Amino acid sequence: MLIQLDMESKDPLYTQLRNQIVEGIASNRLKPGDALPSVRSLAQDIGINLHTVNKAYKQLEHEGFLVIQRQKGALIHPDGVPQADDFYWMELSKALRPMIAEAKCRGIDEHQLTTLCQEIYQSFNKKGDSSS
């Protein structure tokens, strides 16, 4: 699984890493029970500090994507990710709102918006098809 961080981004490194792992799960390249690299080895691979990797892993653990075990390292949660609940739907709406508002301001119509969302959604399906 390839990780690509943008040192110039305004998103913190640990958030970018967290997002890429989530995308890996969404696209089925990372499956329940799969082992992730150790914080040390991943940190070295992508050239960042191990604490930064650790912070991403801890957040993913807290969100229910991972389990971290004392010396087996981190695994994609074997039971899968917790399903969307009311709280998550609310948070998702809150996050989407300003982005959709701006898109509307910039002349993107409803159909263009849903098409974009569908394309992104389906891009995760495609990747899953081809991998093991």
Partner DNA sequence: GTGGTCTAGACCACC
Partner DNA sequence: GTGGTCTAGACCACA
Q: Apex CA 89: angle with CA 99 and CA 68, to 5°?
A: 105
Please state the closest distance from residue 76 (CB atom) to DNA, in A: 13
Which residues are CB-contacts of 24 (< 8 A; sequence separation ≥ 6)? 1, 30
The letter for the amino acid at 53 is V
115 touches 104 (CB < 8 A) = no
Least Cα distance to 59 among 12, 3, 97 occurs for: 12
How many CB atoms are located within 10 Å of the residue 111 CB? Answer: 8
The residues in 3-62 that bind a copy of itself, with binding defined as CB under 8 A, are 7-8, 12, 19, 22-23, 25-27, 62
Q: Count residues near DNA (CB under 7 A).
A: 23
> Of the ranges 35-43, 86-94, 103-111, 120-128, which one interacts with DNA (CB under 7 A)?
35-43
Which of 19, 32, 41, 101 is close enough to bind DNA by CB under 7 A? 41
The residues in 77-106 that bind a copy of itself, with binding defined as CB under 8 A, are 81-84, 88-89, 92-93, 95-106
User: What are the residues binding DNA (CB under 7 A)?
Assistant: 12-15, 38-41, 48-49, 51-52, 54-55, 57-58, 68-74
